[in-house]
A and B are shown apart, each in its own frame.
Chain A
Amino acid sequence: MSKSEQSFMGTISRKYAKKQIFKTILGYFLFYASWIILTFWLLYFFEPTFLYAWFLWIMIFSVALPFVVVLVSAIWYYNRYVKMFSFEILDNDIIIQHGVFNRIRATIPYSRIQNINITNGVFDRMYKVFTVKIETAGSSAAAASAKSGIARPEGYIPGLIDPNIIEEKIKERLTKYSAIPSGLEDKIFKPEELAFDNFISYILSKMREGEYLQTTIKEMREKSQISAANLAEKVGVPLQTIKYLEEGRYNPSLALAYRIAEVLHCKIEDLFKLV
């Protein structure tokens, strides 16, 4: 299979640049509106004669000139941003390349994707574009948002005219690969394959609504006084996997279920129930 068959490359619309430039202009004027109101207020009440003489120059140097500079750099920046932005949907992960000054290449494995949000904000609607946010069970993005309070998911694809294409392409990948189970050549399953299998079953169970795995892992674990971290280490998965399992958000593979049952000295049926 050639690479072109496997991957899907996408770029974002120039409308995104227009939208951002418009937002910049709007933001600029909102910022200076208060300044101008203050100036007029000073003129009206105190009538400082020197301000009359210099008013035109003050306006030019403090509003008009910076505005031209901001506008020119915004046009340059956002057009360049659109040009440099590309994403690629591969078999195992999504690669997003962006950045005007620093080139960033982010690889998001499907196994870490928590959900895909398509948003269409006020400005988005004006320009008929969509923003796709791919949220991951990531560490860096979550930690950064906790610190700054601004949550930007790891996978951020703005300015899409047809956001469904991403969803479709990912689904295509999933149906293609759910038909051929992972790890056929190897008899031993690697953790990342298990994780991919997890993601498929998670998506499929989401599509077939109503199915839900009830679990007593937490109770059983606490009964035998094993911490979540210790359990994770013993079964050889990340701590996050155990947490999701306990919340009932994960459909584990049978192999993983066996390992957990082994560590907790019980049967799989004692730990999970399909409702």
Chain B
Amino acid sequence: MKFKKKIKSRVKDLREKLGLTQQQLADEVGVSRQTIYYLEKGNYNPSLTLSFKLTEIFHTTLDNIFYQEPIIKELLEGKSLADLKEVAEDVNINLEKLASLSEIDDEELTSSFNENLLIKISNNLGINFEDLFEKEVED
């Protein structure tokens, strides 16, 4: 069992550190300003060449610009405590275990959650299981 992840970026911080505007950065890497805007907003999956160009401009590695985060993390962080308590009650686990989903890695996920439980949690969060988790492909 694996978390589905989305790409987050620190482009905004790095850009501001260099004192560039979105338009200036866009011109440097040869994309439109909107692309930079969406990239900073975190909803954009850039191409690899664009990513590499950003590393050149920011003089840093890919890991310092982009990082992956489980989709469920943002989802859980966006919920109120009351909502989370309700979800935990509905699926019969304690709140700590539910909250731990935003901390643990794929290995821990496999060992401490089974598929049925995760399906239940996803449904209670109002999202498809497939959008949050994926099954591992066997060799």
Contact = CB atoms under 8 A, between A and B. Distances in A.
A274 B53 contact: yes
Interface of A: 178-181, 183-184, 187-189, 194, 197-198, 200-201, 204-205, 208, 211, 213, 230, 233-234, 236, 251-258, 267-269, 272-274
A189 B49 contact: no
Given A208-B30, A258-B7, A183 B43 contact: yes
A253 B48 contact: yes
Centre residue among A211, A233, A255, A272 by max chain B CB count within 10 A: A255
Contact of B47 (A179, A252, A267, A268): A252
- Ranked nearest first, the 5 interchain pairs of A and B with the lowest CB-CB distance are A201-B47, A274-B52, A181-B44, A179-B32, A255-B45
Contacts of B50: 201
Interface in B31-67: 31-32, 34-35, 38, 43-53, 56, 61-63, 66
B4 A254 contact: no
Given A179-B32, A181-B38, A188-B71, A211 B49 contact: yes
Contacts of B82: none
B18 interface: no
Given A188-B4, A254-B66, 8 more contacts: A178-B31, A179-B32, A184-B38, A189-B45, A213-B49, A255-B6, A267-B62, A272-B48
A254 B137 contact: no
A76 to B, nearest CB: 50
